[in-house]
Amino acid sequence: MISRVADSCFWFGRYLERTEATARLLYVTRNLAMDAELEAKQCWLPVVIVSGEEPRFMARLGPQLSNERVGDVVEFYMSWDENNLSSIRSSVEAARENARSIREVISLEVWEAINEMYLWLGSEVARDEYHSARYSFYKRLRQGCQLISGLLRSTMLHELPLNFIWLGMLLERGSQTARVVDVHHHALVLHERTHQVIETALWLSLLRVCSAYEPFTKKNRGRATGDAVAAFLLFEGLFPKSIAYCIREARSRFAVIRPPDRTDLPGGLTQARLQALDRWMRERAEDVSLGDIHELLTHVVDEVAAICTGLSREVLGQAFVASAMESAQ
C-alpha cells in the first residue's frame, strides 16, 4: 500500500472520530449546563481545554466571556470556527479532503456518506438546524459518523487501508477519552468540597460524553462513584471507548499492518511502543486510585502522540519526504 495513501487513511479515521467526539461532547455539555447546579463556565471551559484550544480561545474570545454567553461562544467556536483546527467544521473538511485524496481506496458508499455530510454542513440547512434545533444538529453529525463507521466495516475489504483507518480512529478515540476524563477529574479535584449531587452529575455526564452510560450501569449496577467511572473508562476491556480497549485494538490493527514476526518490514519502533503501552495499561489496571489518574492519563496522551509521530516517520511516508528533500538539495 502506498505510504501517502496510508497516511490519508489514518487521518481520515482520526478526523472522523474527532468529529463524532466533538459533536457528542458539545451535546452532552449542553445538557449538563441545563440541569446541574454548576456555573456555566465550569461546564463549558473544559470543552475547550480538552480540545487543546484553550490558549488560542482565551486570547481571542476570553474577554467577552460571561456566564450568560460562554455556552454560545464555546459552541460556535467548537462547531463552526474555521481557524479552530479542532472545530467540527474543520474536522469534517479535513476528513473529506483526506477521503477525496484516497477516493480510489474507500468504497463509493463511504465516499458518498462523507461527501454528503460535508455538503450538508456547508449548506444553509445545517446553519438553520444549528440555530433552531441544536439537538438534531449534533445528532445528525454523530449519526453521519456512525453511518460511515458501519459502511467502512460492511462495504470495504478488510485489508490494509481499512486497518489504517481503524488505527487512526482507535488512537484518536483513546486519546479523546483520556483528555475528557482528565479534564473532568481536574474539575473535581479543584472543587474538593463539591456537593455530592454535583459530583455525581459530573461523573454521569462524563459517561454520556463517552456514550458509556448504559454500558457502565450494566457493569456497575448503577453505582456511579468517581473511582468506578474512571476505572470503567480507563480499563474496561469490553467497552469500545475505554482507553485500554483502544490501545489493545490499535495494537492488533498494527499487527495486521506489520506482522510482529516480519522484522524486515518498517514499523518496528511503533510496534514496540504500542506493545509497551498496552502492557503498561494492563499492569496499572491491577491497582489504581483516583489520585494517580492525572499522571496516568498524561502518560497515555503523551505516548499516543509519540506513537503517531513515530508511525508517520516509519510507515506513513514522512521519512521519504524528508529524504527526498535532502537528496533534492
Partner 1 sequence: MTSLFERYQTTAGTYDELFERAGVPRAGFDRVLSSLGASSADEFAKCQALAEMAMLNQGVTFSVYADNRGTEKVFPFDLVPRIVAAPDWNKLELGLVQRVLALGCFLDDVYGKQQILADNVIPRELVLGAKEYMPIVHGVRPAGGVRMHIAGIDLIRDPAGAFRVLEDNVRTPSGVSYVVENRLATKRIFPHLFEQASVHRVDHYPSRLGETLRSVSPRDPDESTVVVLTPGAFNSAYFEHSFLARQMGIELVEAPDLFVDKDRVFMRTTRGPMPVDVIYRRTDEAFLDPEVFRPDSMLGVPGLMRAWAAGNVTLANAPGNGVADDKAIYPFVPDMIRYYLSEEPLLDQVPTYVCLRDDDRNYVVDHLSELVVKAVDESGGYGMLMGPQATRAQLDDFRSRIIANPRKYIAQPRIELSTCPTWDAERRCMEPRRVDLRPYILTSREGPWVLPGGLTRVALVQGSYVVNSSQGGGSKDTWVQKEVS
The residues of the shown chain that bind partner 1, judged by CB under 8 A, are 1-6, 97, 100-101, 103-104, 108, 111-112, 115-116, 119, 160, 164, 257-258, 264-267, 315-317, 320-321, 324, 328
Question: Cell digits for 123?
Answer: 449548506
34 or 328, CB closer to partner 1?
328
Locus of grid cell 510507515? 315
176 or 312, CB closer to partner 1?
312
68 or 104, CB closer to partner 1?
104
Query: In the complex, what is the shortest distance from the CB of residue 124 to partner 1, in angstroms, rounded to a whole number?
Result: 14
100 or 186, CB closer to partner 1?
100
At 238, give phi and psi (nearest 5°). -100, -5
75 or 314, CB closer to partner 1?
314
| CA angle, residues 227, 250, 49, in degrees to nearest 5 | 50
119 or 133, CB closer to partner 1?
119
Neighbours of 188 (CB within 10 A): 18
Burial 92-110 (b: 16+ CB within 10 A, else e): bbbbbebbebbeebbeebb
Query: In the complex, what is the shortest distance from the CB of residue 265 to partner 1, in angstroms, rounded to a whole number?
Result: 5
Are 219 and 236 in contact by the 8 Å Cβ rule? The answer is yes
Query: In the complex, what is the shortest distance from the CB of residue 112 to partner 1, in angstroms, rounded to a whole number?
Result: 6
Task: Tell me the one-letter amino acid at 250.
Answer: A
At 150, give phi and psi (nearest 5°). -65, -40
Query: In the complex, what is the shortest distance from the CB of residue 138 to partner 1, in angstroms, rounded to a whole number?
Result: 22
240 or 266, CB closer to partner 1?
266
Query: In the complex, what is the shortest distance from the CB of residue 190 to partner 1, in angstroms, rounded to a whole number?
Result: 43
Query: In the complex, what is the shortest distance from the CB of residue 6 to partner 1, in angstroms, rounded to a whole number?
Result: 5
Query: In the complex, what is the shortest distance from the CB of residue 157 to partner 1, in angstroms, rounded to a whole number?
Result: 10
Neighbours of 296 (CB within 10 A): 19
What are the distances in angstroms from CA 220 to CA 39, 171, 226, 233? 29, 26, 12, 12
DSSP secondary structure, 3-55, as one string: HHHHHHHHHHHHHHHHHHHHHHHHHHHHHHHHHSS--HHHHHHHHHHHTT-HH
- The DSSP letter of residue 149 is H
